[in-house]
Amino acid sequence: MLSVFLSAGLWRLVFPAAPAPGVLWSRDRSRAMDCVRVGAEEGNRSYPGQIAPTPPRGRMGTTDTVVCTERMLRRDLRSPQDEAVLTDLQATVSALASAARSQRPDLVGRTWLVEAHDPSTQVSAKLRFATQNALADNGLAVSDRTPVLAVGDVDVLTRLPPDQAYAVACERYGANGSVADDQVLMAIIRRDPRETSLHGGLCVDGQWTWLR
């Protein structure tokens, strides 16, 4: 019975390899880790001496390496949606900034303004800050100025469906001079409070386009 238990690998159900939760590793402890799966070559580059490279003649079977690091903040200190957005913040805004630069090379000479829309005011400020830095890291001229709309515009915009509201807002920014001809407005948006991905859009000369 014991030999069947061991040979069939059933003991892995009771004592799974960390960080999978099991008898010796609680669920809370597993959830407190930030884990990524890495290949042997990448692992050897990032953790020399700890992760062995693939031998020149290859290796029998498939070897997986999961690198786990303790999370900076414990779970439950913020909402799961905020946690998901903030965990990948740097990667997300860097990707958006690179996408903006590569998709619109004609806008490189302009000054970039940034605004962020998120159900949480705190997270909005974080998104704006991170995007400004990411754009500056891409060699773009960035301004800290916030474009403004008249009260009447805001009143109308809040009653429009989101897809239409961004386009109309962009048009109004262009019309009232908040976003001048030599400027670009980049907006980072979480369109639904339940979603965990961010969208980006550009407002250029009163025309709104989605980056992704």
Partner 1 sequence: MTAVLRALGLVLGLVGATGVARADERTDGLQQAQLDRLRAEVAGEVQLVAYDLVDELVYGWIQDPVFSEPTSVVLAGVTVPVGLGTGLQALLENHITGLLTQNPSTQVQLVHCPSCTAVVIHSGPEGTVLSRGIDNPEVLGAFGESTGKHALYIDIEAEGAWLVLRARITRLTPDRPIVWSHTLATSASAPALLRQSTDLKSAEDAREEYLKALRGRGSLTVPLRFAVRTYARPEDDQGIGAPPFLWLQSGVELSATDARAWTSSLLVGYSVVPQAYQGLMAQARLQRLVTGRARSLTHPDLYAFVGAAVMTVWGPATAPFRERVLTADQLLVDTAQDDPRETFGAFQLGLDLRLGNRVGMSAFLETIPSLRDSPNIGVTTYLLGLPFQVLGAEVTFCF
Binding-site ranges for partner 1 (CB under 8 A) = 34, 69-74, 76-78, 82, 86-90, 111, 120, 122-123, 125-126, 129-130, 132-133, 136-137, 141-146, 148, 150-151, 176
**Contacts made by residues 191-196, CB under 8 angstroms, sequence distance 24+:** 191/162, 193/81, 193/119, 194/81, 195/81, 196/80, 196/81, 196/84, 196/85
φ/ψ region of 17 (left if φ > 0, alpha if ψ in -120 to 50, else beta) reads: beta
Q: How far is the CB of 147 from partner 1 (least distance, A)?
A: 11
Q: How far is the CB of 21 from partner 1 (least distance, A)?
A: 19
CA distances to 35, 119, 129 from 56, in Å: 28, 52, 46
Q: How far is the CB of 22 from partner 1 (least distance, A)?
A: 22
- Closer residue to partner 1, CB minimum distance, 114 or 203: 114
Which is nearest to 187 in space by CA: 136, 147, 139, 140?
147
Which is nearest to 179 in space by CA: 126, 210, 143, 151?
143
- Closer residue to partner 1, CB minimum distance, 71 or 212: 71
Q: How far is the CB of 82 from partner 1 (least distance, A)?
A: 6
Q: How far is the CB of 169 from partner 1 (least distance, A)?
A: 16
Distance CA 185, CA 174 (A): 10
Distance CA 38, CA 29 (A): 21
- Closer residue to partner 1, CB minimum distance, 131 or 166: 131
- Closer residue to partner 1, CB minimum distance, 82 or 96: 82
- Closer residue to partner 1, CB minimum distance, 26 or 122: 122
Q: How far is the CB of 184 from partner 1 (least distance, A)?
A: 14
Please report, as a single letter, which amino acid is at residue 53: P
- Closer residue to partner 1, CB minimum distance, 130 or 170: 130
